[in-house]
Amino acid sequence: MDYFKFYDIPLSFCPDQNLVKKKFYELSKAYHPDFFVNEPEEKQQEILDLSTLNNKAFQTLSNPEKLLPYVLTEKGVLTEGEKYQLPQDFLMEMMEINEAIMDLEFEPDAQKQAELQKNVSAVEQTLNKELLSLTADFENTNEDVKAQKLAEIKDIWYRKKYLLRIRESIDKFAHRK
């Protein structure tokens, strides 16, 4: 089930977090399994399923890292197992960072590692700013522009996933010392 419909709130990249929290607590009370212990097993299972759905909805709608791919999936822009091709200029920029990581493996240097982390953080900050500008008033955008924005948001999501792997490589290297 669509989490936004379940919470009776509009689909959004930026849902009102106070409303999300309010709906979560409201439904937590309504679907708490302890209130249905004397009901038939079928009803108990239904309530348990609704309680589980409520927890998953809250975890997704209150976490920006889970919310973004969820909305993209709901909009039909992101599909599981998709082979997305990142832009060549981004891959070239990342190749330089990956080469720097390999250099650090052979010649550890705390200063170069800190500089590398700073460079990755700068790329992440730029992507986050772009993402914020694209998602901030997405719902108020006309349909023609929405399609373009969705494609750009999807691209940023894949770039952020790539950067996460790079950050994990840097962290793994840092822990080997």
Total count of domains within the chain: 2
Are residues 121 and 48 part of one domain? no
pLDDT band of residue 12 (cuts 50, 70, 90) is: very high
Are residues 151 and 102 part of one domain? yes
pLDDT of residue 174: 62
Are residues 93 and 57 part of one domain? no
- Is 20 a member of any domain? yes
Q: Strand runs (DSSP E) across the chain, as ranges?
A: none
Question: Residue 170: pLDDT above 90?
Answer: no
Per-residue pLDDT reduced to its tens digit, 51-64 = 999 999 999 999 99
Are residues 100 and 39 part of one domain? no
- Is 69 a member of any domain? no
pLDDT band of residue 84 (cuts 50, 70, 90) is: very high
State which residues form the domain around 125: 88-175
Spatial separation of the C-alpha atoms in residues 177 and 175, rounded to whole Å: 6
Are residues 165 and 93 part of one domain? yes
pLDDT band of residue 105 (cuts 50, 70, 90) is: confident
pTM: 0.87
Q: Which of 40, 35, 64 is nearest to 51 (CA)?
A: 35
pLDDT of residue 175: 62
Are residues 102 and 158 part of one domain? yes
- Is 33 a member of any domain? yes
- Is 163 a member of any domain? yes
Contacts of residues 25-33 at CB distance under 8 Å and 24 or more positions apart, as own/partner, are 27/54, 28/54
Cβ neighbours of 109 (radius 10 Å): 11
Alpha helices in the chain (DSSP H): 3-7, 17-30, 41-61, 64-74, 88-106, 110-135, 143-175
- Mean pLDDT over residues 25-49, rounded? 95
Backbone phi, psi, residue 174, to 5°:
-65, -30
- Is 82 a member of any domain? no
pLDDT more than 90, % of the chain: 80
- Is 68 a member of any domain? no
Are residues 41 and 107 part of one domain? no
Of 44-48, 56-60, 80-84, 170-174, the one with minimum mean pLDDT is 170-174
pLDDT band of residue 176 (cuts 50, 70, 90) is: low
User: Residue 26 maps to which CATH number?
Assistant: 1.10.287.110
Tokens standing for residue 94: 């990342």
Are residues 99 and 154 part of one domain? yes
